[in-house]
Structure 1
Amino acid sequence: MQNKSIKAQMRAERLAARDALGVADRLDKSRSIAAYGAAAIELDAGTTVSGFLPIRSEVDVRLLMDVLRDEGGRLCVPVVLDKETIVFRAFTPGVDLVSGVFGTVGPGPDVPELEPQIMLVPLAAFDSRGHRIGYGGGYYDRAIHRLHEKGRNPRLIGIAFDCQEVASVPEEPHDIRLHGILTESGFRDLSDGAIAKIG
């Protein structure tokens, strides 16, 4: 089976496992994720952090985003512009949200675009080495590649539930490894080859 087919199967299985979590269970796990994230993610005042507004059965990362804002983080969220591109627009309390594609919402075009220094990355599946499977559109891979081309090197933290872990994600040349993984059982620091766990 080719890597693409393997990834598609893993994506479907792990998203089904995530969908099977009850609403209350997801909220409890999201609270744990926020607590571990608050302890593990250090930032200077003004650091730009991209989060995301949850769709379907995703982790509700807004709980962690609130904490990071209180610590001085400057928040932004992804907005899908077309079939190829997402940008990150400032996310402030009370900002008006407009409907986007794939059931997403985000700040409108009048809101400034920011370049994240820390990225909280949604995903379908991940492994212990920090390899991720996204939703299949490649939006984050392209956005991160564009930042790298500008000389930026954002810290990439995968956000998921434990049930989304797989033994091994097939690697492809364009894949970008995460610097850390945050789930309800703790934070795994994978930067510079470290495998430290908080939790």
Structure 2
Amino acid sequence: MTDSTLNQRRLLRQTLRAKRRRLSAAAQKQAARQLCRQIRQQPWFLRCRRIAVYLANDGEISPDQLVCMAKKMGKQIYLPVLHPAHKGRLWFVRYQASTPMQKNRFGIAEPTLKGYGHLKGYRCPASLLDLVLMPLVGFTARGERLGMGGGFYDRTFEQNSAGFHRPLLIGLAHECQRVEHLPVADWDVPLAGILTPLHLYQVNKTL
């Protein structure tokens, strides 16, 4: 990727982050409710058992309501945690009311890894997840996406070993984060679809 393309992505990232931060608290709550209604209509959501989500930050659309719904349906919820040994990758740890939390180096809350002992039986390998709901900074209707730029999800879900099972990857975003064109990086792991409060942008036709 050229320096010019990287600069385009950086500027677009700044613009779209500012856009979603301008949404009012009332608009954010309404978007979260609509997102929950959208996802519970999706057959792939009803089928899955182990779901990875995120805690909303920096104006991201909140999955909190759909997490509550998923727990009531008996689904297991996992949160991403910065991998303690492999830089740039993620672990996924079971998220419950009693899960001890701490802020990572980006100031985002995640399950604490202190001692690692409490993780026995609670950490789920990425390949065993059924569904991963990912935050987005920007996206196109064709499924191209723009993340925060750290590449954590890309490294975690790259198909770099024989037999690796990649879970269903779905991006969550506000409709105002959609753009017509997006400079794509070679390392971007493709999504199966993108869900907003108004629409499912289906990339994988078998979704």
| TM-score category, normalised to shorter length | 0.7 to 0.9
What 5-or-longer segments of structure 1 have no aligned partner?
A: 195-199
Q: Give the counterpart of 2:16 among 14, 26, 51.
A: 14
Structure 1 window deviating more from structure 2 (135-144 vs 93-102): it is 93-102
Give yes or no for contact 1:95–1:107 (8 Å, CA) kept in 2: yes
Pairing partner for 1:99 from 103, 109, 113: 103
| Gap change, CA 1:19 and 1:148, over 3 Å in 2 | farther
**Could you tell me which residue of structure 2 aligns to residue 108 of structure 1?**
112
Q: State the secondary structure of the residue aligned to 1:102.
A: coil
Query: What's the offset of the Cα at 1:130?
Result: 0.8
CA gap of 1:62–1:147, structure 2 versus 1, over 3 A, is farther
Q: Which residue of 2 aligns with 1:61?
A: 63
Q: Does the C-alpha gap of structure 1 residues 97 and 61 become closer, same or farther in structure 2, counting only changes over 3 Å?
A: same
Instruction: Tell me which residue corresponds to 1:37.
Output: 39
Q: Give the Å deviation of 1:171.
A: 2.2
Using structure 1 for the length normalisation, give the TM-score: 0.88
Change (3 A) 1:152 1:60: same
Instruction: Say whether 1:166 aligns with 2:182.
Output: no
Task: Write the deviation string for residues 135-173 of structure 1: whole angstroms up to 9, x where unpaired.
Answer: 011111111116866511211110000111111212222
Deviation of residue 66 (structure 1)? 1.7
Task: Name stretches of at least 5 consecutive residues in structure 2 with no aligned partner.
Answer: none
SS at match of 1:34: helix
Does residue 153 in structure 1 map to residue 166 in structure 2?
yes
* Aligned counterpart, 2:204: 191
**CA drift at 1:34:** 1.1
Counterpart of 1:23 (choices 21, 25, 30) is 25
For 2:66 and 2:101, locate their aligned partners in 1 and report how far apart those are by CA, in whole Å. 19
Secondary structure of the structure 2 residue equivalent to 1:98? strand
Equivalent residues in 2 for 1:82-93, closer than 5 Å: 83-93=87-97
Structure 1 residues 117 and 193: CA distance shift in structure 2, 3 A:
closer
CA contact (8 A) 1:180 1:187 kept: yes
C-alpha contact (below 8 Å) 1:141/1:175 kept by paired residues: yes
CA distance in 2, matches of 1:147, 1:31: 37
Q: Which moved more, 1:109-118 or 1:129-138?
A: 109-118
Alpha-carbon deviations, 1:108-150, whole Å to 9, x = none?
2223221322110101101111111110111111111168665
Does structure 1 conserve the Cα–Cα contact (< 8 Å) formed by 2:40 and 2:46?
no
Between the aligned partners of 1:67 and 1:130, the Cα distance in structure 2 is: 26
